[in-house]
Structure 1
Amino acid sequence: MGRGKTAAAKLGALGLVTVLAACGGNSKATPNLENFTAQQIYERGEYELEVGNPRRPADALKYFSEVERLYPYSQWAKRALIMEAYAQHRAKKYEEARASAQRFLDTYPGDEDAAYAQYLLALSYYDQIDEVGRDQGLTYQALQSLRDVIEKYPNSEYAQSAILKFDLAFDHLAGKEMEIGRYYLKRGNYTAAINRFRVVVEQFQTTAHTPEALERLVEAYLALGINDQAQTAGAILGHNFQSSPFYQDAYNLLEKKGLKPEAKGDGWLAKVYRQVIKGEWL
């Protein structure tokens, strides 16, 4: 969190020392804070994040929430809310982080920190991607939230990071389709495998998984005896990814059947091939 990293030092140490003394140096025991200013309580929260016990962001949350409770209409309450979302995210309390970030966006839509709130909301989805197994709902939500950062705040310091994470999340979705497709292919369920590889070719063609998806389509269609589609998949692969090892694998599979990569028939892959030739694909 770059925005508040040195705020405690910049705001002055007097109020922070006062609160620390009242706490007896014990971050686990929250003192009665009603006699302290919003700034002093806020500084204590920042202290917990940066110095007190950075490994326990939950220790800071109680101070930020107290600022909101005791001084709900102050500028410090606004700052505390965005820090609350940040601390919750750091504590891996992703649902709570989303709720706090959304509350900030709803309450202060035009604030200079709105871009960061939107970015935190997106991160709360993005950082869960590896935890969701085959359920990709959170990945789609991460993509939508990252898109919001990119489109609503294109000039913010978070836009470039959002673009990078969007590409990675997009690639992750394609990778999941490939994983399931390989599973079906290995078990001889060729139609189901083709459906998964088709999704990659049609919807995720800008990812690194496209060459393998085309090669797997050659393999699956040959197994089903649908040679026109197999040849066309090989032709697309050769047109765009001739240096890929997947093209050589596809070429070898076709050659064993006395076939070669070329556009054949009028199936869905033939339409893709025509788009490739016209330069409207990839």
Structure 2
Amino acid sequence: MRAQQFFKMVTTVTAAAAIAGCGGLPEKTDETAALSTNDLYAQARDAYESGDWSKCYRYFDVLQGRDPFGPYAQQAQLNVAYCYYRDNDTDNANQAVDRFIKLHPDHPNVDYAYYLKGLINFNDDLGLFGRFSGQDLSDRDPKSMRDSYEAFKTIVDNFPKSRYAPDAAQRMRYIVNALATHEVHAAQYYYKRGAYVAAVNRAQQALTLYQGAPATEEALHVMVQAYQALGETQLAGDTQRVLAATFPDSPYVTGKPRDGAKRPWWRLW
């Protein structure tokens, strides 16, 4: 017992001496504490305009907390979300914009909030950068792109006259084909590994969920190949006829390269 007390005393003395030796731990100062609301807003705006995104979201966050019912509060909430987005902090950006939409569903700029939510979750790596060698694309989760689609759809459906509606509509078409391409990549992955039933199922999912997307041409071709590998000649023939009727100039129908430059997967249809 005495040994334990002695050890505790030595530890305490040693820690105290260490703190005293280095002059104690410096206290972290809040650089915004002495700023008025107007000065805080001015510095937050300067950070916004100069692209200092870390300072931007910190200062706007302090501003909305200090004066939650003031003239800058609601715009500050939106700016926090935008600055997190530009700083590539997707989680905090989503939390901030969702909070704004929940608190201010009738705000005059709520269409921009939905547009920002769409941008936060918008990315093209499902299509353009998603075909990495050896990667199991069937395990990838396209949830963020679906969230982006729903946000843009809200603008198109509920705010058709919004200045953001035309761009939102274009991005929706892009997302649909990106998601369809994701399904086709998964179908190709299964086909190459001999999982032909799984390949058919994923290709059918692309056709069912994303009708009219250019990627469905490849989905039909994968189905033809998979049915042939399964010995289902009737189903393979039926699917080939659907492919020919839907994409008559397809290389999978004509046996020749398509005239002109190949249509990129992301082309809006």
Deviation at 1:248, TM superposition (A): 2.6
Q: Distance in 1 between matches of 2:168 and 2:56?
A: 27
Q: Say whether residues 1:39 and 2:45 are aligned partners.
A: no
Q: What amino acid is aligned across from residue 118 of structure 1 in structure 2?
A: Y
Residue 268 of structure 1: aligned partner: none
| Secondary structure of residue in 2 paired with 1:115 | helix
Question: What percent of counterpart residues are identical?
Answer: 25
Deviation at 1:178, TM superposition (A): 0.9
Q: What amino acid is aligned across from residue 109 of structure 1 in structure 2?
A: P
Post-superposition Cα deviations, 1:40-74, rounded to whole Å, max 9, x if no partner, equal 321211101213xx2x3011122211211221111
| Secondary structure of residue in 2 paired with 1:66 | helix
Max Rg structure: 2
Post-superposition Cα deviations, 1:195-225, rounded to whole Å, max 9, x if no partner, equal 1111122222211111121122222212222
Structure 2 residue corresponding to 1:105, chosen from 97, 101, 104:
101
Within a 5 Å distance, the mapping from 1:132-281 to structure 2 comes to 134-249=140-255
Residue 7 of structure 2: aligned partner: none
Q: Distance in 1 between matches of 2:253 and 2:116?
A: 41
Q: Name the CA shift for 1:205/1:247 in 2 (closer, same or farther; >3 Å).
A: farther
Deviation at 1:126, TM superposition (A): 1.6
Higher relative contact order, structure no. (Cα contacts within 8 Å, ≥ 6 residues apart): 2
Deviation at 1:182, TM superposition (A): 0.8
Q: Which runs of 5+ in 2 are unaligned?
A: 1-28, 131-136, 257-268
Name the stretch that deviates more: 127-136 or 208-217.
127-136
Deviation at 1:91, TM superposition (A): 0.7
Q: Name the CA shift for 1:83/1:111 in 2 (closer, same or farther; >3 Å).
A: same
Instruction: Tell whether the 8 Å contact from 1:128 to 1:138 is kept in structure 2 after alignment.
Output: no
Instruction: Tell whether the 8 Å contact from 1:129 to 1:138 is kept in structure 2 after alignment.
Output: no
Name the stretch that deviates more: 100-109 or 72-81.
100-109
Instruction: Tell whether the 8 Å contact from 1:178 to 1:200 is kept in structure 2 after alignment.
Output: yes
Structure 2 residue corresponding to 1:94, chosen from 84, 90, 95:
90
Q: Say whether residues 1:117 and 2:109 are aligned partners.
A: no
Instruction: Tell whether the 8 Å contact from 2:32 to 2:59 is kept in structure 1 after alignment.
Output: no
Residue 5 of structure 1: aligned partner: none
Q: Distance in 2 between matches of 1:189 and 1:242?
A: 28
Residue 64 of structure 1: aligned partner: 60
Q: Distance in 2 between matches of 1:172 and 1:42?
A: 40
The CA RMSD over aligned residues, in Å, is 2.4
Instruction: Tell whether the 8 Å contact from 2:123 to 2:145 is kept in structure 1 after alignment.
Output: no
Deviation at 1:241, TM superposition (A): 0.9
TM-score (norm 2): 0.74
Give the length in aligned residue pairs.
Answer: 219
Q: Distance in 2 between matches of 1:138 and 1:123?
A: 10
TM-score (norm 1): 0.71
| Secondary structure of residue in 2 paired with 1:72 | coil
| Secondary structure of residue in 2 paired with 1:126 | coil
Instruction: Tell whether the 8 Å contact from 2:32 to 2:40 is kept in structure 1 after alignment.
Output: no
Within a 5 Å distance, the mapping from 1:67-78 to structure 2 comes to 67-78=63-74
Deviation at 1:147, TM superposition (A): 1.5
Residue 50 of structure 1: aligned partner: 49
